[in-house]
């Protein structure tokens, strides 16, 4: 378990998993906001092409995460975190269909086709989620924390900025829309509690915390890669 100490070096009770993840990823969270395509969106500099590429890059990430979470759905620690109303793969597919990047239904395209198209940063991200699903699956908690709580929080800001800067209609911003969640604030509180309960049961608390740092690093790498690819295509 991750333990803290007081000024005299005495061990304090272990931090909650949510608190530990926040502390471990605080600087990485700031880096993520200042990196790549996310920084472009926040500054109003993103292009439609860049945003489409971000969606295309994230689709296999969410497909993999949601599939692996579901496989651990019977687990007492992972099950409470498997919430269909959070699933983003279908919403991203709908947005991609709006942009008409493919004649085929995006949701029908297999993951074996998408990572190469989306780039190596996405492939590394998918591989990391697959690895996190090993054992009791506890490390998936970190990826759910990084992605879903981010979508419910900062994602709402991104949606408003994209709507204004790229003049995108709601039909192109399904990614950030959670119609099955009537009160996002209450839902986030419940989900945070589920993360803490999962941490209490986790076989390796510290591994989940370090996976949280990895999840943010992977997000930063993907964001930078999308920004670079979008600049090349311009």
DSSP 181-197: -S-HHHHHHHHHHHHHH
**Range name among 52-56, 112-116, 215-219 with the lowest pLDDT average:** 112-116
Q: What is the dihedral of CA 67, 69, 74, 76, to 10 degrees?
A: 180
The pLDDT score that the predictor gives to residue 171 is: 87
Contact between residue 130 and residue 214 where contact means Cβ atoms under 8 Å apart: no
What is the mean pLDDT of the segment spanning 7-33? Answer: 81
Q: How far apart are CA 27 and CA 136, in angstroms?
A: 28
List 5's β-bridge partners, or say none. 11
Q: How many CA atoms lie within 13 A of 123 on its CB side?
A: 9
User: How crowded is residue 179: how many other Cβ atoms within 10 Å of its Cβ?
Assistant: 8
- Asked if the model's pLDDT at residue 116 lies above 90, the reply is no
Domains of the chain: 17-34+46-233 (1.20.910.10)
Given a cut of 70, whether residue 189 has pLDDT beyond it is: yes
pLDDT of residue 112: 44
pLDDT at residue 185 greater than cutoff 50: yes
Q: Does pLDDT of 103 surpass 60?
A: no
Total-model pTM: 0.88
């Amino acid at each position: 378990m991750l333990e803290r100490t007081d000024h005299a070096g005495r061990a304090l009770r272990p931090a909650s998993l949510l608190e530990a993840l926040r502390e471990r990823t605080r600087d990485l969270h700031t880096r993520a906001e200042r990196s790549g395509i996310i920084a472009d969106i926040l500054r109003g500099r993103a292009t439609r092409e860049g945003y489409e590429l971000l969606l295309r890059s994230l689709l296999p990430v969410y497909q993999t995460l949601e599939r692996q979470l579901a496989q651990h759905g019977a687990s007492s620690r992972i099950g409470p975190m498997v919430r269909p109303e959070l699933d983003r793969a279908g919403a991203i597919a709908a947005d991609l269909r709006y942009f008409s990047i493919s004649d085929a239904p995006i949701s029908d395209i297999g993951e074996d086709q998408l990572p190469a198209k989306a780039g190596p940063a996405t492939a590394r991200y998918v591989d990391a989620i697959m690895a996190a699903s090993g054992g009791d699956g506890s490390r998936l908690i970190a990826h759910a924390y990084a992605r879903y709580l981010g979508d419910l929080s900062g994602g709402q800001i991104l949606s408003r900025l994209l709507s204004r800067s790229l003049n995108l209609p709601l039909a192109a911003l399904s990614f950030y829309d959670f119609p099955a969640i009537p009160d996002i604030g209450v839902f986030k509180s419940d989900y945070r509690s589920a993360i803490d309960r999962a941490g209490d049961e986790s076989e390796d608390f510290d591994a989940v915390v370090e996976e949280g740092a990895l999840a943010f690093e992977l997000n930063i790498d993907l964001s930078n890669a999308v920004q670079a690819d979008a600049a090349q295509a311009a």
